[in-house]
Amino acid sequence: MAMTMTQKILAAHSGKESVSAGELILADLDLVLGNDITSPVAIKEFAKLGKDSVFDKNKVTMVMDHFAPNKDIKAAEQCKMCRDFCNDMEVTHFYDVGEMGIEHALLPEKGLVTAGNVVIGADSHTCTYGALGAFSTGVGSTDMACGMAVGKAWFKVPSAIKFDLTGSLRRYVSGKDVILHIIGKIGVDGALYRSMEFTGVGLSSLSMADRLCIANMAIEAGAKNGIFEVDDITLDYIREHGSAEPVVYKADPDAEYDEVINIDLSQIEPTVAFPHLPENARTFDNIDEIRIDQVVIGSCTNGRLEDLIAAAEIMKGHKVAKNVRVIIIPATQQIYLDAMEMGLLRTFIESGAVVSTPTCGPCLGGYMGILAAGERAVTTTNRNFVGRMGHPESEVYLASPATAAASALTGRITSPWEVMKE
């Protein structure tokens, strides 16, 4: 039976020769992930199972990233619960202040995911690892607890949409613009419980940072997962980060898709998602002057070194607009260190921005950049729902690092093509 990439991975992990869309399967897990918000609930559920150990101490990971360093007493207690649990269970991959990062940037960097894996995480953006050719998806904390206990999870096999990519991205256009364009095209429920599978000659135009960003936001289109065909760019990244040996699954030529969507990357322009849904995507021929109060460059979507380099190129030698707060958040300690050694942090600080320790903080309205009523932010994060970054009367505009940096300099939503005269 012909299968998609996702279906082949799920078949292999459920001990079946083949699976079909809609089928219920029990699959073996290669990694179970939690963070400081979702793990405490899972830990409480785990205790009810009467287990005295996790199924594999090397295949469970917890990352303290949402409210760490702790923002208040409740956050401190949540992190302590995770810390104590991982110590008791001798969990190998526990990441706390000093060595942590934003989970979906940290795990690929640490080589904890490879092509062909099945990964669940109690965080909706666990779909990020599809960039590496893995099946990865977000689950609830109860599923996380069961996954930690037995190393298995139930799935309904998803059908798929194929995205056939051609062409090459233009300068100052990135994976963020691509995924905002796609979500604008199909809507926030356009891929509901389906696999978004990316292939085509255009893949060679997309860096791993681009792919990680696109896979990360598959959930914003309602998808069960996003996954990229594995190529030399993927394999080079996996080797560089010391990941386990990859297992490469390619879709059968006659695999069945619900639809095939052709995307010419050369036609993608800098794109901004307006409040209050990621599907409200606009290009600059349809954007009037909109003044802003804050810019955030970071998150599990766009806090990687390549993102910081793009922002710094635009900001270097310029000053942030008066009355605009700019917050730069490297996604991991290693990215922070690399950015420092490259002089990027100096560029940001001299421009009038602040640089934060790795944290999810402002993305979910946690801390490190909360918005007041009536304020507007351009941000490289992944969601712009009502109240997402603070007051319900604030507004969040999603954009690429290049667009966010350009907007920081002008004090209004601005295309990088305008600032860099492209």
Binding positions are 300, 360, 363
Peptide bond just before 275 cis, omega within 30 deg: no
Q: How buried is residue 416: exposed, middle or buried, by Cβ count under 10 Å (0-12/13-18/19+)?
A: buried
Annotated binding site for [4Fe-4S] cluster: 300, 360, 363
What single letter denotes the amino acid at residue 415? S
State how far the Cα of 302 lies from the Cα of 362, in Å rounded to an integer.
13
Question: How many residues comprise the chain?
Answer: 422
DSSP symbols for 62-78: EE--SSTTT-SHHHHHH
Closest CA to 113 of 131, 95, 98: 131
What 3-state class would DSSP assign to 261? strand
State how far the Cα of 411 lies from the Cα of 318, in Å rounded to an integer.
13
The helix (H) or strand (E) run that includes residue 163 is: strand 159-166
CB 383 within 8 A of CB 390: no
